[in-house]
Amino acid sequence: MSLLLRWTFCLLICSVAPIVAAARPNILLVLADDLGYSDLGCYGSEIATPHLDALAAGGLRFTQFYNSGRCWPTRGSLLTGYYAQQIRRDQVPGVPSGSRGTRPAWAPLLPVLLQPAGYRSYHSGKWHIDSMPIACGFDRSYYLKDQGRFFNPLVHYEDDVKLPAVPKGTSFYGTTAIADHAIASLKQHAKEHPDAPFFQYLAFTAPHFPLHALPEDIAKYRARYRSGWEQIRAERFAKQQQLGFPAVALSDVERTLGPPYPFPKAMETLGDGEVNLPLPWHALTDEQRAFQANKMAVHAAMIDRIDQELGRVLDQIRSMDAFEETLILFLSDNGASAEIMVRADGHDPQAAPGSADSYLCLGPGWSTVSNTPFRRHKTWVHEGGIATPLIAHWPQGIADRGALRHTPGHVIDIAATLLQLAEIEASPTSRAAAAPSPPGKSLLPLFSQDQSLDRECLWWSHEGNRGLRQGDLKVVAAGKAGAWELYNLADDRSEQHDLADRQPADLKRLVALWESKDREFSKTARQPQ
């Protein structure tokens, strides 16, 4: 979309209050990739995340916030405020859609919508949205497309211009490079645009596979996970209770549920230490226990490094005297992943775990731990696949510091929140004819106190996995042929007691609502641009 078209679009859809830069906070939106609900210290983890823990202590933690269960649907929803199917960023039958789908013209990204309020927008890290960052309204961008090589990416871009490949053996590390660009963008902003608010979208590629981490970070955790996944999961669950999280039963481990996609050749390449089921730790061989403990050490190291690099970005914001007036949001694009595969440069069994020549994935044993206390993993829309941490920190706008918020929310709410924050109201009467009203709700009321948001439901669909939540009731089905299940999340958020047979009227009503929304969103996706 050209710059002229972006501005024309904003003039069509946005009714903008008079711009007063001081009244509009800066925004730092941080997205992790494949990070599980319990992977942060402030959500129950043993992993060192002091900077994120400090943001939580000075802000809010949301206990019932949701993503879309997969990378590209979440990112499309996050930056537009629509469900991914509405904007063709998840599969809609009969429409070019999914991970290669192109958004309709009426669904621009947040930088375009924020421009009339004077925001400068910066992107650093993963993209996984259609088009390119600068073409979508960002003023600066570092796009790390090659996610299979944390140490030597072959494909990455600066300001939509392809950069040379990074050879092996340099000091490059993806998480650090992403933070470096964010810091450079903010420094330039402070120098050239000191009176304008900024929107920094910081999209880390970690801890997505391959499990690649710096040796000094891995060393911190080398012995930590030898006690096994049952023990670590129990410790995380106990810590969540100590932190005041809602009373939730620890879900049963689904011992026969492995990765969502089979890659049998990968299992051969990875060797006898790999297992593709969350078997009891005591049932593993010594070789398997050592292999699995090493994998989790690398996963932990990747998250530790996210926190370290985020700390440098926060220091840059403090050096600009902007920390008090910056809203910081941190979340993950889906639950932790049970996938096991080998891609990119392959896996050398003799290479050190976490090094450039290795290619390891977390797998279902440890992703069950990362998603504590919930069921299932990335791609499913049971709670383990869609529940994300959400930390909100804003000294000038959040007084109830260190509190928990239990009101359900969804990534579709982020755009609505930021637009209200920027004092931009999209007028339904002035929208393009094809544009539906965005389904997201602003979270700003929750910054003051926990309260219900006026919404009909929350909805999910991905690769046949289906779900809908209305109030405390949730229907969910695994796969196109999967039977619908019904849960009351008020007392069974870990989805252990299926009420489908006992409450058939509720099941029928909610399934009908899911189907109605599916038809509505598919119809929207099929409309001409």
Confidence of residue 7 (pLDDT cuts 50, 70, 90): very low
* Percent of the chain at pLDDT exceeding 90: 93
User: Residue 433's pLDDT is what?
Assistant: 60
Q: CB of 322 within 8 A of CB of 26?
A: yes
pLDDT for 292 beyond 80: yes
Task: Return d(Cα 343, Cα 227) in angstroms, integer.
Answer: 29
- What DSSP designation does 116 have? G
Q: The tokens of 492 are what?
A: 């069974």
- Please report whether residue 473 resides in a domain: yes
409: nearest Cα among 466, 485, 331? 331
CATH code, 363: 3.40.720.10
* Per-residue pLDDT reduced to its tens digit, 96-139: 999 999 999 999 999 999 999 999 999 999 999 999 999 999 99
Q: The tokens of 410 are what?
A: 């969804």
Q: CB of 27 within 8 A of CB of 201?
A: no
- Please report whether residue 342 resides in a domain: yes
* Per-residue pLDDT reduced to its tens digit, 207-216: 999 999 999 9
- What DSSP designation does 224 have? T
Task: Return d(Cα 473, Cα 219) in angstroms, integer.
Answer: 44
Q: The tokens of 527 are what?
A: 């409309």
Tally the domains of the chain: 1
Amino acid at 156: H
User: Residue 12's pLDDT is what?
Assistant: 36
Residues 385-400: what's their mean pLDDT? 97
Q: CB of 209 within 8 A of CB of 341?
A: yes
Identify the domain containing residue 279 by its residue range: 26-526
User: Residue 20's pLDDT is what?
Assistant: 33
Per the prediction, the chain carries an average pLDDT of: 94
Please name the residue that has the structure tokens 């929803």: 77
User: 182 phi and psi, to 5 degrees?
Assistant: -60, -45
- Please report whether residue 3 resides in a domain: no
SS (H, E, C) 179-221: HHHHHHHHHHHHHHCCCCCEEEEEECCCCCCCCCCCHHHHHCC
Instruction: Indicate the helix (H) or strand (E) that contains 446.
Output: helix 444-448
* Per-residue pLDDT reduced to its tens digit, 345-355: 999 999 999 99
Residues 420-432: what's their mean pLDDT? 64
How many C-beta neighbours within 10 Å does residue 365 have? 26
More confident residue, 528 or 402: 402
pLDDT for 10 beyond 60: no
pLDDT for 5 beyond 70: no
Task: Return d(Cα 445, Cα 416) in angstroms, integer.
Answer: 12
Confidence of residue 528 (pLDDT cuts 50, 70, 90): confident
* Per-residue pLDDT reduced to its tens digit, 256-288: 999 999 999 999 999 999 999 999 999 999 999
Task: Return d(Cα 220, Cα 48) in angstroms, integer.
Answer: 9
What pTM was computed for the model? 0.95
- What DSSP designation does 393 have? E
Angle among Cα 164, 170, 172 to the nearest 5 degrees reads 70
User: Residue 527's pLDDT is what?
Assistant: 85
User: Residue 404's pLDDT is what?
Assistant: 98
- Please report whether residue 1 resides in a domain: no
User: Residue 434's pLDDT is what?
Assistant: 67
Confidence of residue 89 (pLDDT cuts 50, 70, 90): very high
